[in-house]
Amino acid sequence: MILHFVNLQKFFWLKRLISIIGTTGIGKTRLAIDLAKHLDTEIISCDSRQFYKEMKIGTAMPTDEELAEAKHHFVGNISIDDYYSIGQFEVDALEKLEEIFSGNDVAVMVGGSGMYEKAVVEGMNDLPEADENNQQKLLSIWENDGFEALQKLLEELDPDYFSIVDKDNPRRLLRAIDIIWQTGKTYTENLSLPKPQRNFETIRIGINAPRETIYERINLRVDKMMDKGLLEEAKGLIAARDKVALQTVGYSELFRYFDGEWDLDFAIEEIKKNSRRYAKRQITWNKKLENVNWVNYNNSLQEALSLLEKSSDSQIGI
């Protein structure tokens, strides 16, 4: 039986953040909206690709109907022309949480970008800002030797971080190598340094599914994106294809189709393959997180609500 809001509200004596994690296409958005409606609260998005207003279809941004069901923050809030770091997101998200907590004891956060989720939940280390000289050197390597050279460089410098990072995301690679060069420590070592304490508690809820189910849902999702107009969306962004935000799954493959390098069917299959690879990295990342309370993908709301009811007694996820 579904628990009602009045039954759950009494359990949130302290400020709590419910953070929903899981692989791409597993149903995180739906669960976040349903929980936010039950708890009469708002949603923080920590999906870094959905920040960009020009990339609605390819990032599976919540639809206008979904956005109307519960108030969302950090969805389509910046342009691909803007620079936006994890550190700035941490600051902005914490400020928004303070606003939400001023009128509510609970907030919901959702997204597939593990580093952004972790920045809000656990805090970022006091890492240096980007070094302009390093950035220029890295961009030169990229331009002269190809993106694979950056991937190989990071793998040599920090194999542990390389095993979990989104290897197709240039922003992640550039940032990690820059920090390694500046500090003389691996990015993994930098991330393990003490972090500031949060003034709220977090309950992580992870949506689980068999791997074959995850892959089936990803394949279907890509087909739906194409039906919704992903090809046209990507075509309209060709002039901006060199922007870091567009060096990502769903767009880079279609740009190669527009270049005549691939035919459309092959490009679509590559989107599906790279999305599945991304999901595998998400699985690896999520397995290393602490205090994750897993719910089944086909009964996620019921199990999540039951989980929250029990949390008052068992203090799970805290």
Binding site: which residues? 22-29
What strands lie across the sheet with 16-21, from one edge to the other? 72-73, 43-45, 106-110, 16-21, 201-208, 292-296
For 80, left (φ over 0), alpha (ψ -120 to 50), or beta? alpha
d(CA 296, CA 197): 31
**Which residues make up each annotated binding site for substrate?**
24-29
d(CA 183, CA 269): 40
**Which residues make up each annotated binding site for ATP?**
22-29
Q: What are phi and psi of 109, to 5 degrees?
A: -125, 145
Provide the b/e sequence for 61-74 (b: ≥16 CB within 10 Å).
Answer: bbeeebeeebebbb
100 burial (CB, 10 Å; 0-12 / 13-18 / 19+) is buried
The Cα-based distances of 8 to 13, 99, 177, 190, 311 in angstroms read: 11, 21, 45, 39, 10
* Angle of CA points 297, 267, 110, to nearest 5°: 30
d(CA 121, CA 123): 6
